[in-house]
Amino acid sequence: MVMVSQVQVFPEGDLVTIRINGHFGFPVYRQFREAYEPAGPARQYVVDLQATDYMDSSALGMLLVLRERAGGERARIRIVNCRPEIRRILDIARFGQLFQIG
């Protein structure tokens, strides 16, 4: 079976919701980047992982790049709807210190 990973974007004013379907990893790198540009501290982001069934370390890297593009320490990014396995990956990497999770 071929799984097609997909990134969906729902912009509402300054709030951008990015939903990742399937595997959150290197194959969606370009789509994910296109989803948040043009980035800056004026925009808020919600990364919705409800439909994400697998996530690897390149996804963590992509989240870090989003954080930097969205203003670094001033970035406003929420990661929501994590399944337990995905939550575990974020917890081991202690991403709660960098993002608002939940």
Partner 1 sequence: MGVTPVVAGPPALRFLVADDDAINRVLLRALLEQAGHAVIEAGDGEQAVEAFARERPDAVLLDVMMPGLDGYEAARRIKALAGECFVPILFLTALGDEASLQRCIEAGGDDFLTKPFSRAILETRIRAALRIRDMAARLERQNADLRTHQARLAEEQRVAEQVFSRFVHHGCLRAPFIRYLASPVALFNGDLLLAARQPSGGLLVLIGDFAGHGLPAALGAMPVAEVFHAGAAAGYGIGELVAEINHRLKDRLPTGLFFAACLAEIDKDGRSLAVWNGGLPDVLVCGRDHPGPRRLVSRHPPLGVLPNERLDRRVERLGLGPDDRVYLYTDGITEARNAAGELFGSARLEMAVSAACCAGAFDLVRTALSAFRRDTDQQDDMTLIEIAPGRLPVTPFESDAREPRVYQPADWRVALEFDPQTLRQVDPLPVCLQLVMALQGLGEHRERLYVILAELVNNAIDHGLLRLDSTLKHRPGGFTEYYAARTAALAALTEGTLRIELVHTVHTRGGRLTLRVEDSGPGFDDAWLSAAGADAGESVLPSGRGLALVRTLASGLRRSGHGVEAVYEWC
- Of 6, 22, 44, 65, which lies in the binding site for partner 1, with binding defined by CB under 8 A? 65
- Work out whether 34 is an interface residue with partner 1 (CB under 8 A): no
Residue 51, amino acid:
A
How far is Cα 77 from Cα 55, in angstroms, rounded to an integer? Answer: 18
- Rule CB under 8 A: choose which of 6, 44, 58, 81 binds partner 1: 58
Q: Whose Cβ is closer to partner 1: residue 24's or residue 95's? A: 95
Cα-based distances in Å from 49 to 6, 15, 32, 45, 89 = 12, 16, 13, 13, 13
Contact positions with partner 1 (CB under 8 A) in 37-56: none
Task: For the beta carbon of residue 77, count every other beta carbon within 10 angstroms.
Answer: 21
Number of chain residues interacting with partner 1 (CB under 8 A): 15
60 is a site residue for partner 1 (CB under 8 A):
yes
Q: How far apart are CA 98 and CA 6, in angstroms?
A: 25
Contact residues toward partner 1 (CB under 8 A) are 57-58, 60-62, 64-65, 68, 91-95, 97-98
